[in-house]
Structure 1
Amino acid sequence: MTFDFNLYSSPLLFGFVQGWIYAALLWIRARREERLSDWLLGWVLVGLSLNIWEYMLGFGGIEILWRELEFFPRTLGYLFPALCYFYLKSQVNADFRFTRQEAWHALPFLIQVTYHIGIFSMGHEFVERWKTTVQYPYHLDDLEFIVGIGLDVYYLILSLRLYRHYRAWIKTQFSETETISFLWFRNFLITLTATMLFSLFMTFLSLLIGLDFWQNWWDELAGVALIYYVSIHGYAQAQPGRRLTFEPVPVEQVLIAEPFSDPVRVLERESVQINGRVEGQSTKSLTGLPTDLVPWRDTLLTYMDNERPYLDPDLSLIDLARRLKTNASILSPVINAGTGKNFNDFVNQYRVDAFKRQVLDPANSHLSLLGIALDCGFNSKATFNRAFKKLTSQSPREFVESRDQ
């Protein structure tokens, strides 16, 4: 049994080998650094590789899958979309571990595998008879296909929703979000969806005009391109320097503070819901901030002016709360309701204001705009330009030029 290297089989073979090599590299790194996300991304690459190996072997002249192994499970099937979702979940939450609550995600895959192995174990002749008398007449293969599409869509929606909530969350927790935004995963979802839609198009085209095995090849080649993209970019994805522990909080859970007594005392967090409202927050200031938290806001603003913690590029909500001898559960509503900004915009506003003061100081005329921005707490040109444009509606250069006129 020899493999025929040709125009159709060779690209698929290279993609297949690429996927397994990088999966092994990810598993080695996962073991070394104890990183669950690398384990899962490795299995995502295995899933992508198994998606193309039927055509790879077929174009290479090896027909064992259609003879000795007919009806045996050949791919990760229904498990693949769940792996993509949990890969994202493990990236944004370093504390995530699989529990019994996640076990149901494997149920469709287990049912599918049990069904196929059960039929396969009855022997080749039984398999052929089952296909002609049950599988095809009752459209069980079509049903499997439809369920697979449904699972793809379901986990795509879950992944997009998790990613959107995470992007909103980091703005309330960190003053610098560039390195933890995971734009890579957004691009991964886009390319994965595009590849899935192209595969659907080729399937419908094959049904419409009757493409043969050799003509129905382009979606497999697209799968190879996806393997190269996910393996190279996924492995090179920079890991956050800080420990991320994002976990979506149910909407009905809200934070309240104990009655205020001393602005340097640590208040404890408590989540309650009583008839859709929060008990103990009926008395509010004109800004919407509970009156018992107004002294915390004043303490915060005084600290920001005097101590200038915003000069720390990696300042986070937890860091600032620790400096104020409180906790993030108290500080977050103080910032949100007391200033009308999320944490990211709140800190960046101080940095932008500091930049405005320094750039207009003749003593700093020898410094570049980026150099001044870095001195004011920004850690990159892209973050600086984006924050300045958002908070002032003009670019840094436009601001300077408007003052020179």
Structure 2
Amino acid sequence: MQIELSLFSILDILTASTALMLGLLFFTIKSENRKANIFLGLFLWSIAIQLINGIVFEYYEEEDIETTFYILDPILFILLFLFFYLNTTINQSINKWYYLLFIPGIIQNILINSSVLREIEERFEDFILLFYFFEILLLIYVFKILKNHKKRISNFYSELEFKSLSWLKSILIAILLFHLILIVEGITGVEEAENELWEGIFQISAISLLFFTVYWIGYNGFSQPELFKQYLFQREDIDPKLETKEEDSSNELQEKFNKIQTIISEEKLYTDSKLNLRTLSIALDIKEKELSKMINQCTESNFYQFINNFRVLEFKRLLQSPKAKQLSILGLSQEAGFSSKSTFYSTFKNAEGMTPKQYELSLKKSE
């Protein structure tokens, strides 16, 4: 078997092989987020199988071999595995009816591997387009879940949770565009019209999106492995004991909050870049809901903003310490607890009205 290696074939092989290896990694990695990682591994393997099918079909076309046989066509499973991964990783309950969403893909594979397909091939292609539109609606639903979850945890999440939401959104956008390309290609009939230019544009666009998806997951997996190993998100279930608890007076609340701020400042808990509401509440021996409520009422900000204010102050202190001669501005920000350059710069500018570099120059001028 010999396949002529075009640019498309090379990209297919690179993406498929990487997806297979990454999928195997997520299947075998031991972590508290293992259940979600299994769905992510299945998502990657679905992409790999889809690309392998394309490579095999290309060979069949070159050799003029007529076949409609697939071992598995996972095109209608790709998004579903990502959907299950999203729900699991943000700790949303998976409703039983979600599993019914696999039925269209199962029906598709039964038809593809049966002789019936040859008789209804044209109708079947229209049938698949309807499924693609259905998946677009599912993607919109997924974006809604993500948006609602981000809004719901705005007072709770740390920078790590924020990064997890950001890379998930990037993957979802890539998969959305991939499905849109398939729909447009099917509606316009580019392949049947044998328009090589447009067929090439659609093909390179689709494979580029899959290439980005796989390598973006791989990049985050190796550069920020904690995104996949830790159980990041918690449900926002209301603690009935806390809700029935009598409200502290404003003076008592402020006094208690001042003590908390003192502990955070003296022990420099904010310098832990992985700090979130859960780990801080454990360190302070306070319930998460109670701590979040105090932060909201006493600072009129959320947990993320509250902790970053400590980090800005710490960076300003470090900038005037001997460490300033040993470390760069980015190095000092990491010492203060920031793990992202973009987050550090945006937070600092919002707090001080200038960039860290401008602040450093202002200090030198005042000396």
The whole-number CA distance in structure 1 between the counterparts of 2:198 and 2:331 is: 56
In structure 2, what is the equivalent of residue 80 of structure 1?
Answer: 78
Question: Aligned residue for 2:29?
Answer: 33
TM-score of the pair, normalised by structure 2:
0.76
Whether 1:21 and 2:17 are equivalent positions in the alignment is yes
1:40·1:86 contact (CA, 8 Å) conserved in 2?
A: no
Please state whether the residue corresponding to 1:217 is helix, strand or coil.
helix
List per-residue Cα deviations over 1:70-101 (Å, max 9, x = no partner).
xx6862242222122234445x35x7897856
Q: How does 1:40-79 map to 2 (within 5 A)?
A: 40-49=42-51, 52-53=54-55, 56-57=58-59, 59-66=61-68, 69=69, 75-79=73-77
**What amino acid maps onto 1:81 in structure 2?**
L
Q: What amino acid is the match of 2:205?
A: A
Residue 197 of structure 2 corresponds to residue 211 of structure 1 = no
- From 333, 340, 346, give the equivalent of 2:293: 333
Tell me, yes or no, if structure 1 residue 146 matches structure 2 residue 130.
Answer: yes
1:5 maps to 2:7: no
CA change 1:77–1:320 in 2 (3 A) is closer
Q: Provide the C-alpha distance between the structure 1 equivalents of 2:275 and 2:47, rounded to a whole number of angstroms.
A: 35
Task: Specify the alignment match of 1:274 in structure 2.
Answer: none
Deviations 1:200-246 (A, max 9, x none): 33334337x96127566322333333343333332332321661342
Query: Max radius of gyration: which structure?
Result: 1
Which residue of 370, 395, 399 corresponds with 2:355? 395
Q: Supply the distance in 2 between the matched residues of 1:256 and 1:339 (Cα, whole angstroms).
A: 24
What's the offset of the Cα at 1:32?
3.2
Take 1:56 and 1:143, find their aligned partners in 2: how far apart are those partners? 23
Q: How does 1:6-405 map to 2 (within 5 A)?
A: 10-34=6-30, 35-49=37-51, 52-53=54-55, 56-57=58-59, 59-66=61-68, 69=69, 75-90=73-88, 92-93=89-90, 100=96, 102-114=98-110, 120=114, 124=115, 128=118, 130-131=119-120, 136=122, 139=123, 141-151=125-135, 153-165=136-148, 167=150, 172-173=155-156, 175-177=158-160, 180-181=163-164, 183-206=166-189, 211-212=193-194, 217-218=199-200, 219-238=202-221, 239-240=225-226, 243-246=230-233, 249=236, 254-255=238-239, 257-258=241-242, 296-359=256-319, 366=325, 368-402=328-362, 404=365
Residues 163-208 of structure 1: CA distance to partner in whole angstroms, max 9, x if unpaired? Answer: 445555776445543884364433333333333333433334337x
* Higher helix proportion (structure 1 or 2): 2
CA RMSD between the two structures: 3.9
- What TM-score do the two structures reach when normalised by structure 1? 0.70
- Cα displacement (A) at 1:297: 2.3
Distance, in Å, in 1 between the alignment partners of 2:23 and 2:318 is: 49
Report the residue type matching 1:217 in the other structure.
E
Task: Tell which deviates more after alignment, 308-317 or 180-189.
Answer: 180-189
> CA distance change for structure 1 residues 65 and 3 in 2, over 3 Å: closer, same or farther?
farther
Which residue does 2:34 correspond to in 1?
A: none
Q: Does the 8 A contact of 1:352 with 1:388 survive in 2?
A: yes
Aligned counterparts of 2:331 and 2:63: Cα–Cα separation in 1: 62
Q: Cα gap change, 1:301/1:23 in structure 2, threshold over 3 Å: closer, same or farther?
A: closer
> For 2:198 and 2:94, how far apart are their aligned partners in 1?
38
The verdict on how the C-alpha distance between 1:383 and 1:192 changes in structure 2, with shifts beyond 3 A counting, is same
Q: Mark the CA change 1:30 to 1:370 in structure 2 (over 3 Å): closer, same or farther.
A: closer
Q: Is the 8 A contact 1:19 1:48 kept in 2?
A: no
Any conservation in 2 of the 1:311–1:376 contact (CA below 8 Å)?
yes
Q: 1:233 to 1:369 in 2, by over 3 A?
A: closer
Q: 1:23 to 1:358 in 2, by over 3 A?
A: closer
Q: How many residues are matched? A: 353
- Unaligned runs of at least 5 residues, structure 2: 31-36
Question: Could you tell which deviates more after superposition, 178-187 or 26-35?
Answer: 178-187
> Closer, same or farther in 2 for the Cα pair 1:177/1:299, shift >3 Å?
same
Superposed displacement of residue 254, structure 1 = 3.7
Do the aligned partners of 2:13 and 2:52 also contact (CA within 8 Å) in 1? no
Cα gap change, 1:174 to 1:4, in 2 (>3 Å):
closer
Identity rate, percent: 18
Alpha-carbon distance in structure 2 between the residues aligned to 1:371 and 1:234: 26
Unpaired runs of 5+ residues, structure 1, are 259-277
Sort the Cα spacing of 1:256 and 1:336 in 2 relative to 1 into closer, same or farther, 3 A.
farther
DSSP 3-state at the match of 1:181: helix
The DSSP-based 3-state class of the residue aligned with 1:378 is coil
The answer (yes or no) to whether the contact 2:292–2:303 under 8 Å persists in 1 is yes
Contact 1:304 1:310 in 2 (8 A): yes
